[in-house]
Amino acid sequence: MLKIGITGQNGFVGYHLYQTLKLFPAEFQLIDFDRSFFDDQSLIDAFVQQCDVIVHLAALNRHNDQQAIYDTNVGLVSKLVEALNRTKHTPHVIISSSTQEERDNIYGKSKREARTLLSNWAEDNKAVFTGMVIPNVFGPFGHPFYNSVIATFCHQVARNETPKIEVDGQLKLIYVGELVEEIIKAIRNKYLNPEYIVSHTAETKVSDILNLLLKYKEQYQEKGEIPVLNNLYEHQLFNTFRCYMDIKNYFPKKFIQHIDARGAFVEIVRLGIGGQVSFSTTVPGITRGNHYHTRKIERFAVIKGKALIQLRRIGTEEVYDFYLDGEEPAYVDMPIWFTHNIKNIGDEVLYTNFWINEPFDPNNPDTYFETV
């Protein structure tokens, strides 16, 4: 079993890598890291000595003081190299650098020099080193105004703010889940490459990103429709957008009921994509679910009975409670990386319709069990 430590494990990429590695408990053991370790030689030395693999993600992306960016990024790597030298330990070290290395800016210069420092250490000590040069990364839970323009636009669009395009450039992108897959491949295969260029998986203009997000807002956030998703990138962008919505106050969403003398009619979901629709009954006191998905889009619609739907983001403790009643039919959609369940809290049988964008595939289930 490989023991893996991630500097910056609570950051954007670090969170996704940490949570994904947890899905392979028989293969990987995670060695927890805290930013304070950099300021305590005994703590960082102990951390280094425990690790078979160190993925160095800790860095400063933006700051009003440009010199602070350089000093921080080079300084953190210097402290890591000093710990490696003191302990004489030679784990496989992976660093995330950026395609901005080729640009004449402080951030790019700091990432290039940081990668060079670790490359020199690895060469001197005959250690395995992977210097990953990465394009623009996007995905759920990135910090707006810090990690990426997509994080900023998602945050603003979901909150009815007006994004501003500074430069309508062409962006080369990789989804955070795809980047995590690349890192895990490097871990498993012990890539020895001081300049490993990670290929982008999508390329688009900034204005095209904003136009798609505005479409998602209109169709999904305002109307409850699942938009047409033409390719994997659009699927990833849509899932990213959903995670920036204020779901705590957005759900449950009541359906529009069309009532006449015959009874009532409710449209449960209008789809721009395919998927699977299912129906369930749940007896009082029973809970279904307690699992999460990393790519699937899912809707729970209560049409009869009383239900409690609960969501919790993986790696956090806050639980969102949504109470639904078939007397006023409503739905809750499940964001990716949120474990969720549904419980019958009434005295009668609960009737629920479920829609998910892909049928269950036992060979690729994307369903991970964790109690809310």
Indicate if 24 and 154 belong to the same structural domain.
yes
In a domain, 40, yes or no: yes
pLDDT at 103: 84
Is-contact 242 249, C-beta < 8 A?
no
Taking the C-alpha atoms of residue 269 and residue 223, their distance in angstroms, rounded to an integer, is 10
Indicate if 183 and 295 belong to the same structural domain.
no
pLDDT at 64: 83
Number of domains in the chain: 2
Report the phi/psi class of residue 290: left, alpha or beta, with left for phi > 0 and alpha for psi in -120 to 50. Answer: left
Q: Please name the residues in contact with 150: beta carbons below 8 A apart, sequence gap of 6 or more.
A: 138, 142, 173, 209, 237, 240
Taking the C-alpha atoms of residue 281 and residue 110, their distance in angstroms, rounded to an integer, is 58
Indicate if 20 and 146 belong to the same structural domain.
yes
In a domain, 309, yes or no: yes
Indicate if 205 and 296 belong to the same structural domain.
no
Indicate if 358 and 304 belong to the same structural domain.
yes
Among 194, 211, 228, the domain-final residue is 211
In a domain, 199, yes or no: yes
Taking the C-alpha atoms of residue 74 and residue 72, their distance in angstroms, rounded to an integer, is 6
Indicate if 184 and 79 belong to the same structural domain.
yes
DSSP secondary structure, 146-178, as one string = TT-HHHHHHHHHHTT-----S---EEEEEEHHH
Indicate if 270 and 158 belong to the same structural domain.
no
- CATH (domain of 343): 2.60.120.10
In a domain, 180, yes or no: yes
Q: Please name the residues in contact with 214: beta carbons below 8 A apart, sequence gap of 6 or more.
A: 157
Q: Provide the domain limits for residue 183.
A: 2-211
Indicate if 166 and 291 belong to the same structural domain.
no
Among 163, 196, 211, the domain-final residue is 211
- The SS3 assignment for 368 reads strand
Indicate if 205 and 268 belong to the same structural domain.
no
Among 157, 183, 211, the domain-final residue is 211
Indicate if 160 and 261 belong to the same structural domain.
no
Report the phi/psi class of residue 53: left, alpha or beta, with left for phi > 0 and alpha for psi in -120 to 50. Answer: beta
Extract the residue ranges of the chain whose pLDDT is less than 50. none
In a domain, 172, yes or no: yes
